[in-house]
Amino acid sequence: MHHQHELEELFAALEEEEATLLDAQLDGQALAELLAPDADDAELIGGYRAKLSVTPRPYQDEALAAWLANEGRGVVVLPTGAGKTVLALMAIERLKLRALIVVPTIELLYQWRDAVVERLGVAKNKVGVVGDGRREVRPITVITYASAAMPESPIGDFGLLICDEAHHLPSPSHSTIPTRCTAPYRLGLTATPERSDGAEDDLYRLLGAVVFQRTPAELSAEGHLAKFKEKRIYVDLQPDEALRYGTLMTEWKWFIAKNRGLLMRGGDFFGELIKRSGSDPAARAAMRAHHQARMIALNAEAKMGEVARLLAQHRADKVLIFSEYTLLVDRISQALALPAITYRTAPDERKQMLQAFRNGAYSKLVAGRVLNEGVDVPDANVAIVVSGNSTAREHIQRLGRVIRPKKQEALLYELVTRYTSEVNAARKRRKTPKREQAG
């Protein structure tokens, strides 16, 4: 009888819990509250204790609520510098489940590990990294996309999946990660979900729709990021540069005009062009001409003069100078005696240079694409984009380097060579990304 009474009480408790879940209509936030254990029971669920040491900003609270309301699935779009890491830490603290954090670079591997320990107060022995020759699977594990994509990667036993720089996920080599990780809760973080191949719909299928989004302008207007101005400065080609540019572009356009029908047959213009260049000398020559013309525009002599003028104008400011190509980074560095960081810079040397910039030993730094994402770049208040590609993502990433919260107004200069393909590229990267909301 005693055992029967205990069973009856157990069934009654289960029925009551089921009724509570039904009353909540599986609302994501209510569900999370029911699943979140008491502080004393935290280690029984996720195997760690967590307490956020920073106060979230209002929009971070809103983002977490929107994600929970979507049953703990979806993508949050916030600009660089807006605190996406803190949002992820809030999700970890809230759910207290075993968490897998997927990141694109080795630098981010260790940045995330340190953030979990320092900002969330999780014991060091509860946080592991997989990648860079290490394989430490812990209650909270940070792993690179490359390691997570390996068939034997240890990504199955987690309740919460966090994908940083989530726009990387739809690529063929990475899209299997969410399939093999059975975590019911999934959070994607990115500054711009749009991809050049149009595969952002795959991102939403894998992680969930965009549940919250704020632009740099919106957060600046609300006082969460620095007020900023963007100034586009046009320069002209020298006569000899203009002549060479015109000759090369004529060669390119003539080839395209003659072969447009063939190149458009498969619907993939540039794919077909690259395929033809393998066996067609004329196609190879046209592609070479286009590349050389673009390099003339990006490396216009007048840009060097403008960079020197702007540096003199901002002598007292912390300035980051960005270039799309390493060749131009080296040229600016040598001509103006500035420290430079490119993909060739050794990790230890890069770390020392960024620390020197952070401490004020350097007030000017020129960099290539290596600082676009995955590196904790010290704050500056002026950015000069000497050359860039046409993607909105790169523009937002570079803007994010100067609009972290501060009283001083930030400035972003773009140098654009007039009457070249750079004009159209600059226009494209300023387009406002479309919003995709859950619903």
Domain boundary among 280, 298, 316: 298
The whole-angstrom distance between residue 129's C-alpha and the CA centroid of its chain comes to 20
* 123 close to 48: Cβ distance less than 8 angstroms: yes
Mark whether 76 and 204 lie in a shared domain. Answer: yes
Question: pLDDT higher for 425 or 438?
Answer: 425
Counting DSSP H helices and E strands in the chain, the numbers are 18, 14
| 330-342 pLDDT tens trace | 989 998 999 998 8
Q: Which residues contact residue 110 at a Cβ distance below 8 angstroms, ignoring those fewer than 6 apart? A: 129
**Domain-embedded: residue 16:** no
**3-class DSSP state for residue 159?**
coil
Rounded Cα distance, 347 and 351, in Å: 6
> What's the pLDDT at 25?
37
The total number of structural domains that make up the chain: 3
Whether the per-residue pLDDT at 207 is higher than 60: the answer is yes
- For residues 149 and 163, the answer to whether their CB atoms sit within 8 Å is no
Q: Assess if residue 11 is contained within a domain.
A: no
Asked if the structure places residue 9 within a domain, the reply is no
Query: How high is the mean pLDDT of the chain?
Result: 79
- Assess whether 79 and 104 both reside in one domain: yes
Task: Report the pLDDT value the prediction gives residue 42, as an integer from 0 to 100.
Answer: 47
Q: What are phi and psi of 174, to 5 degrees?
A: -105, -15
* Assigned domain for 8 exists: no
DSSP letter at 213 equals E
| Structure confidence by residue, pLDDT tens digits, 376-402 | 555 778 888 887 654 555 555 656 555
pLDDT for residue 360: 85
Same domain assignment for residues 292 and 314: no
Q: State mean pLDDT over 231-237.
A: 90
Of the three residues 277, 298, 319, the one that is the final residue of a domain is 298
Residues 105 and 33 in one domain: yes
- In this structure, what are the phi and psi dihedrals at residue 430, rounded to the nearest 5 degrees? -95, -5
Residue 73 lies in a domain: yes
Tell me if 188 is assigned to some domain.
Answer: yes
Give residue-wise pLDDT tens across range 300-349.
Answer: 889 999 999 999 999 988 898 888 788 888 989 998 999 998 888 887 88
* Residues β-bridged to residue 142: 101, 129
- What tens digit of pLDDT does each residue of 149-184 get? 998 888 988 999 999 988 888 888 898 898 899 899
Distance between CA atoms of residues 332 and 344, nearest Å: 16
Q: Are residues 54 and 154 in the same domain?
A: yes
Picking from 248, 266, 298, the residue at the C-terminal end of a domain is 298
Q: 268 pLDDT band (50/70/90 cuts)?
A: low
Residues 273 and 418 in one domain: no
| CATH number of the domain to which 63 belongs | 3.40.50.300
Domain assignment present for residue 420? The answer is: yes
Shared domain check, 404 and 356: yes
Kindly state whether residue 6 falls inside one of the protein's structural domains. no
* Same structural domain, 282 and 400: no
Range of the domain at 140: 22-214
What mean pLDDT do residues 187-191 have?
91
Pairwise CA distance, residues 121 & 138, whole Å? 15
- Tell me the C-alpha to C-alpha distance, in Å, between residue 6 and each of 2, 3, 10, 18, 398: 6, 5, 6, 18, 63
pLDDT of residue 129: 94
pLDDT at res. 151: 87
- Same domain, yes or no: 55 and 150: yes
**Is the CB of residue 401 less than 8 Å from the CB of residue 80?**
yes
Q: Which residues of 37-56 are buried (b: 16+ CB within 10 A; e: fewer)?
A: eeeeebeebbebbbeeeeeb
265 shares its domain with 351: no
In sequence order, what are the residues at sequence separation of 6 or more whose Cβ sits closer than 8 angstroms to the Cβ of residue 387? 298, 299, 303, 322, 323, 324, 325, 328, 415, 422
Share of the chain above pLDDT 70, in %: 76
Which of 324, 320, 359 lies closest to 339 in space, CA to CA?
Answer: 320
Q: Are residues 76 and 196 in the same domain?
A: yes
Same-domain check for residues 133 and 55: yes
